[in-house]
């Protein structure tokens, strides 16, 4: 992420430092979210001048996570951070900057708020053949994302598309549920293969170490196995007929 513009005048390192070090103040609650989710302002002290002094963010405290039967309690925030960590290591920048830190209601996930293009509807993205959507589809296969809804796709004014709400990821057993099945069974392109190869190489070094701080050993091993499978087949996965392939609701 080093040096890459994220939003407004924030580059990657500046955004990450602000999210990790700034003071988080709650502005309001996002009531449509199934878990406790807050729209916040994160700001450094007035003595800090220049870019990165303040920004909007999303804060999801661990204590506000709704218990689920198929994911361990209190782990969704870490899964969100792990998803960003993999996106960042791939070089695709498909997930907004995300950190794990203390906030007004205890430890949780803090993610940079991204303003979307109001002229683009989520329903228009599902069938669009766009490189950014392809990359999210590949990333979700790596993450084993069980909840890629249309509303979790953010079309930005500059044309980028990001994926958010990645907490239901990294299960050991197959759980891929997504609205992005347009490319099912199709070959991966050279850039997608190169991104997967970067991830696989990084898993043996710093990336693997960072993920082991966020996920269980079995979940990290399953992620490596998914990478190996994608690199061996070099194709987008197909839906598994033995389980639901699309999350509900899809938006």
Per residue in 41-93, pLDDT (tens digit) is 999 876 565 666 889 999 999 999 999 999 999 999 999 999 999 999 999 99
The pLDDT tens digits of the residues spanning 195-209 come to 999 999 999 999 999
Report the alpha-carbon distance of residue 101 to residue 78 in Å, rounded: 10
- Are the C-beta atoms of residues 105 and 64 closer than 8 Å to each other? yes
Q: Indicate the average pLDDT of the chain.
A: 93
- Cα 80 to Cα 55, 158, 229: the distances in Å are 19, 24, 23
What pLDDT score was predicted for residue 3?
46
Q: What is the DSSP string of 180-217?
A: --TTTTPBP-HHHHHHHHHHHHHHTTHHHHHHHTTS-H
DSSP tag of 148: B
Report the alpha-carbon distance of residue 5 to residue 12 in Å, rounded: 6
Whether cis (ω within 30° of 0) applies to the bond prior to 215 is no
pTM of the model: 0.94
Instruction: Please name which of 182, 195, 179 lies closest in space to residue 230, comparing C-alpha atoms.
Output: 195
- Are the C-beta atoms of residues 196 and 148 closer than 8 Å to each other? no
Among the residue ranges 30-34, 65-69, 99-103, 233-237, the one predicted with the least confidence is: 30-34
């Amino acid at each position: 992420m080093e040096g890459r513009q994220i939003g407004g005048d924030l580059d990657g390192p500046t955004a990450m430092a602000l999210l990790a070090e700034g003071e988080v103040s709650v502005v309001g609650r996002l009531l449509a979210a199934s878990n406790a989710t807050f729209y916040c302002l994160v700001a450094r002290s007035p003595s800090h001048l220049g870019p990165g002094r303040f920004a909007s963010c999303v804060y999801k405290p661990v204590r506000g996570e709704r218990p689920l039967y198929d994911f361990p309690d209190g782990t969704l925030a870490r899964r969100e951070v792990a998803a960003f960590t993999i996106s960042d290591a791939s070089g695709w920048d498909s997930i907004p900057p995300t950190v794990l830190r203390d906030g007004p209601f205890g430890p949780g996930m803090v993610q940079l708020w991204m303003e979307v293009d109001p002229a683009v509807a989520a329903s228009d993205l599902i069938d669009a053949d766009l490189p950014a959507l392809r990359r999210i589809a590949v990333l979700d296969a790596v993450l084993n994302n069980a909840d890629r809804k249309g509303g979790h796709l953010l079309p930005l004014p500059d044309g980028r598309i990001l994926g958010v709400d990645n907490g239901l990821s990294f299960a050991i057993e197959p759980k891929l549920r997504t609205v992005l099945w347009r490319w099912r069974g199709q070959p991966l392109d050279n850039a997608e293969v190169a991104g997967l190869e970067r991830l696989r190489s990084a898993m043996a070094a710093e990336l693997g170490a960072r993920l082991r701080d966020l996920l269980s050993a079995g979940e990290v091993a399953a992620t490596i196995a998914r990478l190996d499978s994608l690199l061996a087949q070099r194709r987008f996965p197909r839906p598994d007929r033995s389980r639901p392939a699309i999350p509900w609701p899809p938006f």
